[in-house]
Amino acid sequence: MTSVLDRPLRGAILAAADNSLMRKAVSRYGMRLGAKRFVAGETVEDFLSAARAANARGFAVACGILGEGVRGSEEAIAAADQYCALLHTFAEQGIDANVAFKLTHVGLDIDPELAFDNAVRIAQAAHDTANTMRLDMEQSTYVDATLSIYRRLRERFTCVGFALQSYLFRSRDDLQAALPLGPNIRFVKGAYLEPPAIAYAKKQDVDENYARLVDTALSGEGYTAIATHDPRIIARVEALVAERNLPKRGRYEFQMLYGIGTPLAETLVERGYRVRLAIPFGNYWFPYLMRRLAERPANLAFFLKEALSRG
């Protein structure tokens, strides 16, 4: 069962995430009960040791500090500071990790210019350390602002990328518009609940669009991150890159989320592909956990079973 298959259940889980009682209960016990499966821990040290372990197993890493929808500018500036510091730590300690973040974590809800300034600082740190950074894609209401900030960043830096969601009808046009920039794009199916007026509701349509978007991106210049745990899509991409004689390194990479699809990720590494694990850390893990539960209702069953067995 997957996210896009089971829309009503997924909607119920994401709606419950807005309930303050639920938030309180899960925030209190969630790390113990199940969040740890998806999150490296709450501290920078937790993240660094997970990243070193992932590197030792042949994975590159995308670092994400858990946070979104920030309402205070000090918090937004502090998040950007932490990303800059992490990029320098990766360079100093030889850790193969870049950063990916949500613009609402660095101030988009407060003032787009604040988010832009913070993103510029992170891009500068990525540039100075010969690394890369990527803007995650959030709810559809943020797509225009995210793409606009990406374009402004791209005028100054080549080390920046963004993400497109295959459940959105508009992503095809957004990809076409970005192609002349030789963009670095991560393709995902999409983790939020979007209305059928703007997004495919059926899993099959989301998957078909995903395959089409990746095919188009791999036909152009730029770098493509295939971020999915879906073995059928991964097999299609493997066939496509073989057919086009694309080298296993330099034009694309696979990406997966920490705690999901690990055996498949390991197989890809063994076959010589570049695979990046997105490893989040921090104490604001509640919405992230809820999205992971909503993607796969079996996770919710596991989570509740743990909760009940612990009384």
Ligand X SMILES: Cc1cc2nc3c(=O)[nH]c(=O)nc-3n(C[C@H](O)[C@H](O)[C@H](O)COP(=O)(O)OP(=O)(O)OC[C@H]3O[C@@H](n4cnc5c(N)ncnc54)[C@H](O)[C@@H]3O)c2cc1C
Catalytic residues, by residue number, are 136, 186
Taking residues 57 to 76 in sequence order and writing x for each that binds ligand X by CB under 6 A, - otherwise, the string is --------------------
- With binding defined as CB under 6 A, does residue 274 bind ligand X? no
Q: Which amino acid, residue 152?
A: R
Residues 6+ apart with CB under 8 A from 223: 161, 183, 184, 185, 251, 252, 253
Residue closer to ligand X by CB (options 87, 137) is 137
Taking residues 133 to 172 in sequence order and writing x for each that binds ligand X by CB under 6 A, - otherwise, the string is ---xx-------------------------x-x-------
Cα dihedral 41, 43, 47, 48 sign: negative
How far apart CA 182 and CA 215 sit, in angstroms, is 15
Stretch that binds ligand X, among 51-59, 86-94, 212-220, 253-261 (CB under 6 A): 253-261
Residues 193-252 that bind ligand X (CB under 6 A): 227-230
- With binding defined as CB under 6 A, does residue 257 bind ligand X? yes
Q: Choose, by CB under 6 A, the member of 131, 189, 237, 241 that binds ligand X.
A: 189
Stretch that binds ligand X, among 85-93, 113-121, 176-184, 256-264 (CB under 6 A): 256-264
C-alpha dist (Å) from residue 46 to 36, 53, 79, 94, 281: 11, 11, 17, 17, 8
Binding residues for ligand X, total number by CB under 6 A:
25
- With binding defined as CB under 6 A, does residue 103 bind ligand X? no
Q: Classify residue 41 by burial, with Cβ atoms within 10 Å: 0-12, 13-18, 19+.
A: buried
Shortest Cβ 226–ligand X spacing (Å): 9
Shortest Cβ 194–ligand X spacing (Å): 9
Shortest Cβ 1–ligand X spacing (Å): 8
Binding site for ligand X (CB under 6 A): 2-3, 136-137, 163, 165, 188-192, 227-230, 255-257, 260-261, 278, 292, 295-296, 299
